[in-house]
Amino acid sequence: MNLLLISNSTNAGEAYLKYPIHEIAKSLEGIDEVVFVPYAAVTFSYDEYEAKVQDRLNEIGVKVRSIHHAINKRNFIRHAKAIMIGGGNTFALLKKMQEEDLLDMIFHRVKAGVPYIGWSAGSNVTCPTICTTNDMPIVQPESFRAIGLVSFQINPHYLDANPEGHAGETREQRIKEYLEANRSRYVVGLREGCMLRINDEGIQLIGSRPMRIFKKGQETYEVQPGDNIDFLIRRSK
């Protein structure tokens, strides 16, 4: 597989997709177009989303072809040179992909070697389920089952913050609740400005910040860019 799973599209004060564009270019080396899935967009149109991504990918000479224009959407994925799924609302994204029967087609194409790039919600849907998303369930998908390209769960935009005066749950507490019901699963807290690259050589954390590892029965700990984290994908191959 050739996966690039990005925590967030944009760092504070930067232009859209600016920080990950060099890694995106590596994933798309030798490829001149991508199929884009814009279904996580809620407060703006799919056309606007396509144009926004195209503006950035112009820098690397890649054409964006959004799936919402296609009549036969499974066939669109079947012939994709690369697949890109953008962030937004994970529930809206999954519901639309389920309605269009895209999950298994994406799974088989990526397993066959087609590059996959996703950020935020687009990273969430590569997991077995979307249960570790941060998003509000504004719509109801058929189930929480996602594409299942990896065997661990991702919490993108992971935050350590516990603001003074805040009496609600922290992100870590919510992940630990998930693990009470899913005891064999790993969850990774992927902080902003970071991404995971997964290919035949293994899995690599890219960025300047550590990633948090959660599993029931284990002490929560941090891994640094450059650390060996191949244990996360042993069951994904």
Catalytic residues: 120, 135, 157
* Contacts for 171 with CB less than 8 Å, ≥ 6 apart: 134, 155, 158, 159, 160, 189
* DSSP codes of every residue in 74-134: HHHHHT-S-EEE--S-HHHHHHHHHHTT-HHHHHHHHHTT--EEEETHHHHTTSSBSTT--
The tokens describing 190, both together, are 């992927």
Beta-carbon neighbour count of residue 38 at 10 Å? 24
Beta-carbon neighbour count of residue 75 at 10 Å? 11
